[in-house]
Structure 1
């Protein structure tokens, strides 16, 4: 059994992937209506022993509409004219998605505005107020 190495800690078994070939729209000339070149790659994220709970949860949020209710990730690849290239493309996109899910995002540290930025904001506010004040009706003395 072959394993697809995603990161040093994550490797997916080939048997966990399910591929279906369907007819694609787009480039292909006369072949487009005869040959099923588009690839639909399905990966059961919910039941995969290769993934940790953290990666599963992140994958679910990153995948969005590509994830079914049952926890199956579906990737459609129909960019190229050949089955092989679409297959490679689907697998590469799956690997990229899992790698992105495996990375822990750096937490945002809240910062306070600088003194200079506060002053600039107040100056532009007062300039704007003067512009608006000048638009009113002229006062008669």
Structure 2
């Protein structure tokens, strides 16, 4: 059924559940896994505290360290499940587009990602990346809550 599973993670505990679920799915199907994390690019005019205190170089270094930790933790989950995994770190201001593009480029059959399960006004205002992937992807998406 599925031969390649893309698992998007941001390093949160909720995303770790999606990594666990996705690797177990891959193991059951004999599929491989692509683990993806997406970092925002540095913006000179930013509202996030992280970006206000940093230079472009220090921000990039910080994001690379964070992405490295996120991907190594996800890869450890895949290894412990006995699943072959590739890791990918991208910088993109539209994470949902990077997720879909990577799934297409890596020829993944399914995308696995977490959702905080927000509804109503909260979901509309926050603009969930998961919701954007669901809305724009032609590849099936498995949402872990």
Normalising by the smaller structure, the TM-score range is under 0.3
Q: Rg bigger for which structure?
A: 1
TM-score (norm 2): 0.26
| TM-score, with structure 1 as normaliser | 0.27
Task: Return the structure number with greater relative CO, CA threshold 8 A, min gap 6.
Answer: 2
Answer 1 or 2: which has greater helix percent: 2
